[in-house]
């Protein structure tokens, strides 16, 4: 007896013409599976099963107007067990008042009978003053008319707002606890998700679908897209289901009751929108911010460390073109990949995100192209792995590179061993941040080539979202 949310839902009660398309604020409920309880529903709605009426699952429904408020669970559109529809037109439920005619409404407003004939002065053989003048569209309305109109408009707006708040969303159905929020969105709690949603919602109301942006071209002025099939917060939830939960487009389309094309268009739109919104947020931390938030383990070993760098690779489908295949083939992973550089502050916050490059690029080249060098200042220390042979580039900007020492003799000295272990314990912070990024289940399998134009934005958004997942501290 779960409430239905599909657009093509109709009430089967006699003399009731409600539908989900015309009354989206209503919920529609299936007949009970229990035979005895189902017969009670059939008897209540005055319909007999036969050639003209058959109860079919997911298509024979009763709208929520035929139930009382006590029949629903508190704060939900789900019915309690054992309830029976009881509000119908034949028991004087919701009999709509007879609508007044235009003449009656005008007479009540003006205080005279507008249907009365004109008064004629027979002595002068001329028309005397008409009892009710014809409407003059240039004349001002009578006193108080505008006040009544404004009150009526305010009442309609309040009613519309109430209906929109009562309309259930897919997000509210699935994200009912902090545990489900973490699974579907990677946000740690409902409060954190609400903070993020309130920060992006105002600008998202003017969001334009990706396909419309392509049709308009660069010369046209941006205008918002037409009314959406699903609510705005559900569009963000759809993007999270695809990226964070890793659900396939077919599954998401079935959940939201839309086409796969709508799912693809929405995911691409929100990936680009979040990329531009989040990309405008400055995440590079100043020296003062680094010093004030630096853990004791870092300050005792390298007090001037500004950022910890590391690269990671994301598997992608292999293209048929041999030229493209050779460009994105990674010798380290022995498969086709995209490669990105990530910078983390000693406190665990992501402070630098590079774009994705082809898997054949080296750590040194990706550091040079990413733009991280222009952010460093003289006196900064950069911690990295042995593969980052970038000491010459770091030295040119006046910074210092901290990497594990290379073995020059047959074995490491005691000092080199201690330094290697210390750097490994401190540098593991960036590895854990990368693990959080890859916990977005879209990276569980090879990225399809259909997302090759959007994967860079998705990668950036996933890295940025790590900062919403709470602090990350090194274990003792």
Lowest mean pLDDT among 90-99, 240-249, 270-279, 452-461: 90-99
Encode 108-125: b = buried (16+ Cβ within 10 Å), e = exposed: eeeeeebeeeeeeeeeee
Tell me: do 342 and 438 sit in the same domain: yes
Answer whether residue 107 is part of any domain: no
**61-63/28-30 β-pairing:** antiparallel
Give ∠ CA 372-377-382 in degrees, rounded to 5: 60
* CATH number, domain containing residue 368: 3.30.420.10
Tell me: do 254 and 306 sit in the same domain: no
- Please provide the average confidence, as pLDDT, over all residues in the chain: 83
As a whole number of Å, the end-to-end CA separation of the chain is: 52
Which of 216, 215, 214, 270 shows the shortest CA–CA distance to 241?
A: 270
Answer whether residue 249 is part of any domain: yes
Residue 121 has pLDDT above 50, yes or no: no
Q: How many CB atoms lie within 10 A of CB 98?
A: 6
**Residue pair 440/243 in contact by the 8 Å Cβ criterion:** yes
Token digits of residue 243? 């990226």
Q: What percent of the chain has pLDDT over 70?
A: 80
Mean pLDDT of 355-365: 93
**Residue pair 366/312 in contact by the 8 Å Cβ criterion:** no
Tell me: do 270 and 320 sit in the same domain: no
Which of 360, 312, 357, 364 shows the shortest CA–CA distance to 335?
A: 360
Domain of 219, in residue numbers: 170-279
pLDDT of 119 reads: 47
pLDDT of 205 reads: 80
| Token pair 């054992």: residue | 82
**Residue pair 426/294 in contact by the 8 Å Cβ criterion:** no
| Token pair 């995100």: residue | 353
pTM of the model: 0.62
Residue 130 has pLDDT above 50, yes or no: no
Count of structural domains within the chain: 3
pLDDT of 228 reads: 64
Tell me: do 213 and 296 sit in the same domain: no
CA distance 120 to 125: 8
Question: Can you name the residues that pair with 3 across neighbouring β-strands?
Answer: 29
Answer whether residue 73 is part of any domain: yes
Answer whether residue 2 is part of any domain: yes
Token digits of residue 128? 């005397």
Tell me: do 293 and 365 sit in the same domain: yes
Mean pLDDT of 343-357: 94
Per-residue pLDDT tens for 282-322?
999 999 999 999 988 888 888 899 999 999 999 999 999 99
**Residue pair 193/187 in contact by the 8 Å Cβ criterion:** yes
Tell me: do 419 and 461 sit in the same domain: yes
Tell me: do 243 and 332 sit in the same domain: no
Per-residue pLDDT tens for 75-116?
778 888 889 998 888 887 754 444 566 667 667 666 677 666
Answer whether residue 355 is part of any domain: yes
Tell me: do 214 and 330 sit in the same domain: no
CA distance 380 to 400: 6
pLDDT of 134 reads: 53
Using DSSP's 3-state secondary structure scheme, residue 182 falls into helix
Q: How many residues does the chain have?
A: 476
Which of 257, 386, 221 shows the shortest CA–CA distance to 309?
A: 386
Give ∠ CA 266-271-277 in degrees, rounded to 5: 120
Mean pLDDT of 374-400: 92
Tell me: do 309 and 414 sit in the same domain: yes
Which of 124, 14, 106 shows the shortest CA–CA distance to 62?
A: 14
Of 222, 250, 279, the last residue of a domain is: 279
Per-residue pLDDT tens for 154-209?
877 777 666 555 567 899 889 989 999 999 999 999 999 999 999 988 888 877 77
Give ∠ CA 379-383-385 in degrees, rounded to 5: 145
pLDDT of 282 reads: 93
pLDDT of 182 reads: 93
Tell me: do 333 and 387 sit in the same domain: yes
Mean pLDDT of 327-349: 93
Per-residue pLDDT tens for 133-147?
555 555 555 655 566
Using DSSP's 3-state secondary structure scheme, residue 312 falls into strand
pLDDT of 52 reads: 83
Residue 227 has pLDDT above 70, yes or no: no
Tell me: do 88 and 174 sit in the same domain: no
User: DSSP for 15-72?
Assistant: T---BTTT-TTS-EEEPPSSHHHHHHHHHHTT---BTTB---TTTSEEEGGGS-GGGB
Answer whether residue 341 is part of any domain: yes
Tell me: do 215 and 343 sit in the same domain: no
Answer whether residue 129 is part of any domain: no
Of 133, 168, 203, the last residue of a domain is: 168
Encode 282-306: b = buried (16+ Cβ within 10 Å), e = exposed: ebebeeeebeeebeebbeebbebbb
């Amino acid at each position: 007896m779960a409430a239905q949310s599909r657009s093509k839902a109709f009430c089967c009660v006699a003399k009731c013409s409600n539908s989900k398309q015309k009354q989206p604020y209503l919920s529609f409920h299936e007949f009970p599976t229990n035979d005895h309880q189902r017969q009670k529903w059939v008897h209540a709605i005055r319909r007999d099963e036969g050639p003209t009426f058959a109860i079919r699952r997911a298509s024979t429904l009763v709208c929520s107007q035929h139930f009382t408020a006590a029949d629903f669970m508190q704060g939900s559109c789900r019915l309690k067990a054992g309830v029976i529809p009881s509000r119908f037109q034949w028991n004087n439920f919701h009999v709509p008042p007879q609508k007044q005619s235009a003449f009656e409404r005008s007479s009540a407003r003006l205080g005279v009978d507008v249907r009365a004939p004109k008064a004629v002065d027979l002595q002068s053989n001329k028309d005397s003053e008409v009892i009710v003048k014809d409407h003059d569209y240039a004349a001002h309305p009578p006193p108080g008319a505008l006040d009544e109109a404004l009150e009526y408009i305010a009442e309609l707006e309040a009613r519309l707002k109430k209906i929109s708040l009562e309309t259930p969303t897919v997000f509210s159905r699935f994200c009912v606890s902090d545990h489900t929020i973490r699974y579907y969105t990677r946000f740690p709690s409902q409060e954190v998700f609400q903070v993020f949603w309130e920060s992006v919602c105002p600008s998202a109301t003017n969001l334009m679908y990706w396909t419309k942006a392509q049709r308009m071209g660069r010369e046209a002025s941006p205008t918002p897209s037409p009314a959406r099939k699903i609510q705005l917060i559900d569009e963000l939830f759809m993007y999270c289901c695809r990226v964070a939960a890793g659900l396939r487009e077919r599954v998401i389309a079935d959940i939201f009751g839309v086409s796969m094309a709508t799912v693809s268009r929405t995911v691409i739109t929100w990936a680009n929108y979040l990329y531009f919104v989040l990309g405008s947020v400055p995440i590079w931390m100043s020296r003062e911010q680094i010093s004030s938030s630096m853990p004791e383990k870092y300050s005792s070993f390298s007090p001037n460390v500004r950022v910890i760098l590391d690269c990671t690779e994301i598997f992608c489908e292999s293209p048929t073109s041999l030229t493209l295949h050779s460009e994105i083939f990674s010798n380290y992973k022995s498969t086709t990949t995209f490669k990105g550089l990530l910078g983390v502050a000693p406190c665990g916050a992501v402070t630098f995100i590079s774009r994705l490059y082809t898997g054949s690029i080296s750590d040194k080249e990706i550091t040079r192209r990413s733009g991280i060098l222009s952010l460093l200042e003289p006196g900064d220390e950069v911690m990295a792995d042995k593969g980052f042979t970038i000491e010459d580039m770091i030295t040119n900007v006046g910074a210092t590179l901290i990497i594990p020492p290379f073995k020059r003799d047959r074995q490491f000295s005691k000092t080199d061993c201690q330094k290697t272990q210390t750097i490994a314990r401190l540098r593991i912070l960036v590895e854990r941040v990368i693990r959080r990024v890859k916990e977005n289940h879209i990276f569980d399998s090879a990225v399809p080539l259909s997302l090759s134009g959007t994967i860079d934005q998705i990668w950036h958004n996933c890295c940025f979202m790590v900062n919403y997942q709470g602090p990350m501290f090194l274990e003792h």
